[in-house]
């Protein structure tokens, strides 16, 4: 199963402020209608896997942005689902390798991994194959970094780099095989 990350960071590498706020992020599409490849990416994935904090933040946005795409929320605590999400949102617990094994057994072929700690855990266990990072031209000084500590270097291959008129830069990387991780 392929696992990919699609995320935005500040130029100094943060995905949120220390309190979890993403108020520094611009809205979804640019004034010219550019979606930064998001719709194409979403159409390539079978499901999303995110941590509970990310799930709760997305709920606070109001309208559910994922439509009927299956969303798996990782949490050890019981998850209360709004009525409109009962058919598309489910909960799992366990280590990233166990989650991948369960999702593979359920037939998923490409999943979108989202949320800082979830991404970090999947990277540490060598389970991410692709990372798409859009850097937003802003420095926020402190916050939750996209990448936490790792036991050793993880080599990446740059597949594509796209600059946008508004100063965003999107880089797509493939993680090179690293036999020492996990």
Domains of the chain, start order: 2-14+40-175 (3.40.430.10)
Written as six digits, the tokens of 162 are 């796209």
Residue 32: alpha-carbon gap to chain centroid: 24
Asked if the model's pLDDT at residue 32 lies above 80, the reply is no
Residue 172 forms beta bridges with which residues?
Answer: 132, 160
Burial class (CB in 10 A: 0-12, 13-18, 19+), 2: middle
Given this model, what pLDDT does residue 100 score? 96
Distance CA 121, CA 168 (A): 27
Q: Which residue has the higher pLDDT, 79 or 172?
A: 172
Q: Residue 150 — very low, low, confident or very high, per pLDDT cuts 50/70/90?
A: confident
What pTM, to 2 d.p., does this model score? 0.91
Mean pLDDT, residues 117-135 taken together: 95
């Amino acid at each position: 199963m392929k696992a990919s990350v699609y995320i935005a960071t500040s130029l100094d590498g943060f995905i949120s402020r220390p309190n979890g706020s993403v108020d520094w992020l611009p809205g979804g599409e640019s004034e010219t209608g550019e979606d930064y490849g998001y719709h194409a990416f979403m159409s390539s994935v079978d499901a999303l896997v995110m941590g509970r904090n990310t799930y709760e933040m997305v709920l606070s946005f109001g309208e559910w942005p994922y439509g009927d795409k299956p969303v798996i929320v990782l949490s050890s605590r019981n998850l209360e689902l709004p009525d409109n999400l009962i058919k598309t949102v489910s909960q799992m617990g366990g280590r990233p390798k166990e989650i991948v094994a369960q999702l593979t057994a359920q037939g998923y072929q490409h999943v979108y991994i989202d949320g800082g700690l979830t991404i970090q855990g999947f990277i540490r266990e060598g389970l991410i194959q692709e990372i798409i990072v859009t850097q937003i031209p802003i420095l926020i000084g402190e916050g939750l970094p996209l990448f936490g500590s790792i036991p050793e270097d993880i080599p990446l291959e740059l597949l594509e780099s796209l600059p946008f008129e508004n100063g965003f830069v999107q880089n797509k990387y493939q993680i090179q095989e690293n036999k020492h991780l996990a």
